[in-house]
Amino acid sequence: MMNSLEIFSWFEHLYIVVVLIFVIGILASGKKSGSIMAWIFTVLFIPIIGIILYMVLGVNWRRRRILKNKLENSPHKMFVSLSNELAKNELSKYDTRDIFSSYKDNVERTDKYMRDMEDHSDVAKLLYNTGSTYLTLNTSYDFYFDGGEAFDSIIKDLENAKESIYIEFFIWRSDELGERVKDVLIKKASEGIDIKLIFDGLGSFGRISRKYKKALEKAGIKYRYFLDVRYNILKLNYRNHRKMVIVDGNVLHTGGMNLGQEYIDGGKQFESWRDTNIRITGEMCVHYLAVFISDWLNSSGKFDFIIPEIEDSSSGDYLMQLCASGPDTIWSSLQMLYTKMITEAKEEILIESPYFVPDDSIFEQLKIAALSGIKVKIIMAGKPDKKIPFWVAETYFEEIIDSGMEIYRYQKGFLHCKNIIIDGKLATMGTCNFDFRSFELNYEINTVYYNKEMAGKLREQFFEDLKYCTEIKNEDLDRKGFLLRLRDSVFRVLSPIL
């Protein structure tokens, strides 16, 4: 019979074998190099817990989707069977691209619009090839840089709904704003309006009261949780960060704002909240509806939608394109979009994001742009809602400053908008932060504006925000002690998995 020392030695050797197996699995996972190094670091230096974390949070869903597609196209029955097995463990079953492809005239429209474009047609081609999204002409838009104005506009459109209301938010709270929206929804439901709501399984977890949900159910309002963490802990690390309100299929509200009172007044944590939303009428509405439908179906909802025809917006002045991606999409479309936009710049790159945690490739492109004489200005949150991304961002500051970029922290409340403006002519705004989580782990959605007027308005707001910022200088970095720098660097190594 083994004594306690021998048993310990046996378990020690078994653990080493298990760790080696996991390290080999991580190396062969197909993840990006930064993510591979972060997971190996976690498994090696956080005994047992690191392995459990990888089992729960480390699945490469994008590789599974690629493998499934390859197997489905294989003539061999064995591969098709394996594809079906993979499908059982997918993050999402329904692909937005399949819904886009059902609109057969979109390809012709996009080809025509692309021929008429003066600049940035390569950006449009990239989004079409990575996400099958089409160029759209739109008849009107309004930007909102204040939460109160944005939600007043949303509620007004909800009150005027005639057929359908489809809403999706990462965070939905049953607070003062949530009650206002609920009251309108219940009234519209009594008028026979088709209403469907999507809450993120983690972002809205514990934020909607039971009484609130019962009121929705009693009114006949359908709602679903996307990736409900109560039933599948393996999907805990993946979040639907998208935000959209679609009314009658012809009015769209989208941007950085969630449904919570803090987006109007800053809440208890901040004196104010700076964000960006947009209201759009035109072809883009139906394209967002396609994303909503796929998210609804992936949340176990049924396909019973009121789908409008795509109206002819050939008289519209505003050329836009949707860009959506997630952890299981074949391409990291939004990361590719941000990278491509940076390489398109000739004079100026303006970035606003609460967090700045880029991967090495996109950070290299920013440094190349700055060292080539292009003006690069970055605004991030100066008063953080999360400590770790704030610390990690500081590890980039020295290279940012040395390469000639300018980095600012917004001090008037919390900055939450996600905007990129290139040369005052091309811009994107939406839900995607400038960080690894948004690029690789979240379901995100942005709109690209191929319009000088729209880009100009976002640029004008950027410089208005700059008035409430402090610029980070080299001397500010010198004040930070060794232990704090070490802490920040450790979290930077782990950032691809946080």
| Catalytic residue status for 248 | yes
Mean per-residue pLDDT over the chain, rounded: 85
**Which of the following is catalytic: 120, 188, 241, 377?**
241
Q: Where are the beta strands (DSSP E) in 103-204?
A: 135-144, 164-169, 194-200
Burial profile 151-185: b = 16 or more Cβ within 10 angstroms, e = fewer: bebbbebbeebeebbbbbbbbbbbbebbebbbebb
Both tokens of residue 455?
């880009």
- Residue 318 phi/psi, 5° resolution? -115, 105
How far apart CA 225 and CA 205 sit, in angstroms, is 9
CA-based nearest residue to 439, from 135, 42, 32? 32
Query: Which pLDDT does position 308 carry in this prediction?
Result: 72
CA-based nearest residue to 196, from 303, 346, 80, 55? 303
Task: Map out the domains of the chain with their CATH numbers.
Answer: 4-88 (no CATH), 96-113+139-317 (3.30.870.10), 333-497 (3.30.870.10)
Residue pointed to by tokens 């700045």? 356
Judge contact between 425 and 317, C-beta under 8 A.
no
Query: Which pLDDT does position 273 carry in this prediction?
Result: 97
In this prediction, residue 160 has a pLDDT band, given cuts at 50, 70 and 90, of very high
How far apart CA 498 and CA 494 sit, in angstroms, is 7
**Which of the following is catalytic: 423, 435, 465, 488?**
423
Q: What is the 3-state secondary structure (H, E, C) of 169-183?
A: ECCECCCHHHHHHHH
Range of weakest confidence among 233-242, 327-336, 434-443, 446-455: 233-242
Note the pLDDT tens digit of each residue in 319-372: 999 999 988 788 899 999 999 999 999 999 999 999 999 988 999 999 999 999
| Catalytic residue status for 241 | yes
**Which of the following is catalytic: 31, 196, 253, 416?**
416
Q: What percent of the chain has pLDDT over 90?
A: 58
Higher pLDDT, 212 or 480: 212
Task: Give the gyration radius of the chain's Cα atoms.
Answer: 23
Range of weakest confidence among 181-190, 469-478, 484-493: 484-493
**Which of the following is catalytic: 31, 120, 188, 243?**
243
Both tokens of residue 20?
């080696």
| Catalytic residue status for 243 | yes
**Which of the following is catalytic: 157, 248, 359, 465?**
248
In this prediction, residue 35 has a pLDDT band, given cuts at 50, 70 and 90, of confident
Say whether pLDDT at 488 is over 80.
Answer: yes
Range of weakest confidence among 107-121, 319-333, 355-369, 462-476: 107-121
Say whether pLDDT at 11 is over 90.
Answer: no
| Catalytic residue status for 423 | yes
Query: Which pLDDT does position 7 carry in this prediction?
Result: 65
Say whether pLDDT at 33 is over 70.
Answer: no
Query: Which pLDDT does position 30 carry in this prediction?
Result: 63
How far apart CA 321 and CA 126 sit, in angstroms, is 11
**Which of the following is catalytic: 418, 457, 465, 488?**
418
DSSP of 228-276: -TTT-GGGTT-EE---EEEETTTEEEEES--BSTHHHH-TTT-S-EE--
